[in-house]
Amino acid sequence: NAGVTQTPKFRILKIGQSMTLQCTQDMNHNYMYWYRQDPGMGLKLIYYSVGAGITDKGEVPNGYNVSRSTTEDFPLRLELAAPSQTSVYFCASSYSGQVSNQPQHFGDGTRLSIL
Amino acid sequence: DQQVKQNSPSLSVQEGRISILNCDYTNSMFDYFLWYKKYPAEGPTFLISISSIKDKNEDGRFTVFLNKSAKHLSLHIVPSQPGDSAVYFCAACQGKTGGGADGLTFGKGTHLIIQP
């Protein structure tokens, strides 16, 4: 049971480059999320999706884009990488938005450095 | 403005003793609270949660206590084991809904170290 899978695990980008962080889940979850965790800080929500074709902004969406063409996949796109985007990125999923019934399941993260 | 605060960046406890991790929140609209555990190079994993209608929830060695009037919750681990060494995140949300723009609000985490 793979759960939530994120690729790549590590990446170094130059300023101005673009990349896509991949996230896929095999639990048939409707809700998917992207968080970032800066050093010494808690996780902050970037974008979320409540189902295929539906996405919306979280707390810190600037500089990122997402799409949700299938239930399984929720890629995060960085168009013009900036040093401020150096962080660890976590993808998560849940069957519904009701944490009381099912908390979010997290992937192992992508560590991204922008130099 | 941090709405969920974990004021102890680290905590060292001897194996077999009780570990107590604390969390304070400022948003009175929060009514569901969760603890996540995170090992290095892994994602957070759900540990235990509590609704604001309760003041205690227990699951094996883990107990979470909620003091609504003080806006404070704590996680007790008894007895502490070496495998409990990890970073523990406190998280909160409104209306039991961790989905959506409100999502989960996380604290900065407390690094628990269990010493043999």
End-to-end CA distance of chain A: 36
**What CATH number is given to the structural domain containing A64?**
2.60.40.10
Q: What residues of B are in the A interface, CB distance below 8 Å?
A: 4, 9, 32, 34, 36, 41-46, 49, 51, 89, 91, 93, 96-101, 103-109
- DSSP codes, A44-112: EEEEEEEETTEEEE-S--TTEEE--SSSSB--EEESS--GGG-EEEEEEEESSSBTTTS--EE---EEE
Report how many domains make up chain A: 1
- A26-50 residue pLDDT tens: 999 999 999 999 988 899 999 999 8
Q: Hey, what CATH topology would domain B4-115 get? A: Immunoglobulin-like (2.60.40)
Distance between B27 CA and the closest CA of chain A, angstroms: 16
- B36-87 residue pLDDT tens: 999 998 999 999 999 999 999 999 999 999 999 999 999 999 999 999 999 9
Identify the domain containing residue A54 by its residue range: 4-114
What residues contact B47, with CB distance under 8 A and at least 6 apart? B34, B35, B36, B37, B62, B75, B88
DSSP state letter for B108: -
- Sorted by where each begins, the domain ranges of chain B are 4-115
Q: What residues of A are in the B interface, CB distance below 8 Å?
A: 4, 31, 33, 40-45, 48, 50, 56-59, 90, 92, 94, 96-100, 103-109
| Residue A55 near residue A66, CB atoms below 8 Å | yes
| CB contacts, 8 Å: B95 with chain A | none
pLDDT confidence bin for B2, thresholds 50/70/90? confident
Which residue reads 């040093």 in tokens? Answer: A83
